Amino acid sequence: MLQDFVSRTVRFLLTLVFSVVALASVCATAAENSNTSESAPKNDGTMEVIGAFAKNEVVKSEIVAIPDQKKRLIMFFMGVPLLVFILVTAGLGIALGVYGKRVYVPHMICAGLSVTLAIAHAVVGIVWFYPF
């Protein structure tokens, strides 16, 4: 009975999704046909708007404008706790696996902090130092 309900629900949802996709493609085709039927394009200022975005004005933000020495110092201050968390996680993992100590929760907390800090360290490093 539950299996019947699940299969009917799945069929209904698939039918609904396919109907929405078909309706969207019909609407897109109708919109394309109505756009191509116009003979002369109107000049309603769209070229000025596009031209404003096409300018190559490079303005450095405050995040990128930080001196390299300060960036490296911040990365160092992020890297030291990362290494400490990794070493503590490894030590707790060895204590857990080899010696059978009951340190599973602290091991997982340190592992979560290590992963979070590693992701943050990688993102900051890529944002600051990728374009070299």
Place of tokens 């109708």: 30
Residue 125: pLDDT band with limits 50, 70, 90: very high
The rounded distance, in Å, linking the Cα atoms of 126 and 109 is 26
pLDDT at residue 48, as a whole number:
74
Q: What is the pLDDT of residue 64?
A: 62
Q: Residue 13 above 80 pLDDT?
A: no
Kindly report, residue by residue over 89-118, the tens digit of the pLDDT.
999 999 999 999 999 999 999 999 999 999
Instruction: Give the number of C-alpha atoms closer than 13 A to the C-alpha of residue 130, restricted to the C-beta side.
Output: 7
Q: Are 78 and 117 in contact (CB under 8 A)?
A: yes
The pLDDT assigned to 55 comes to 72
Higher pLDDT pick, 4 / 42: 4
pTM of the model as a whole: 0.52
User: Helical H runs in the chain?
Assistant: 2-36, 46-54, 68-97, 104-129
pLDDT of residue 110: 95
Q: What is the pLDDT of residues 35-81, one digit of tens each?
A: 555 545 556 667 777 776 777 666 667 666 788 899 899 999 999 99
What pLDDT is attached to residue 8? Answer: 65
